[in-house]
Amino acid sequence: MLREQNLDHGCFGETELTALLEVGGWEAILPSALKDRQLLAVANQMRDLVLDQHADASGGTGSAALAMTLLLIAVTEPKRWGPGDHLNIEMETLHDVLELLSARIDQEIVDRVLQRRNERSDVTLIQAIRELTR
Tell me the pLDDT tens digit for each residue of 36-76: 999 999 999 998 888 876 555 444 446 899 999 999 998 88
The Cα 59–Cα 80 span in angstroms is 31
Contact 121, 107 (CB under 8 A): yes
Rounded percentage of the chain residues whose pLDDT exceeds 90: 54
Is the per-residue pLDDT at 82 higher than 80? no
In the three-class reduction of DSSP (H, G, I as helix; E, B as strand; rest coil), residue 81 is classed as: strand
Decide: helix, strand or coil at residue 77. coil
Beta bridge partners, 86, equal 82
Between the alpha carbon of residue 18 and those of residues 68, 72, 112, the distances in Å are 10, 13, 24
| pLDDT value of position 63 | 82
Mean pLDDT of the chain: 84
Using the predicted structure, report yes or no on whether residue 105 has a pLDDT greater than 90: yes
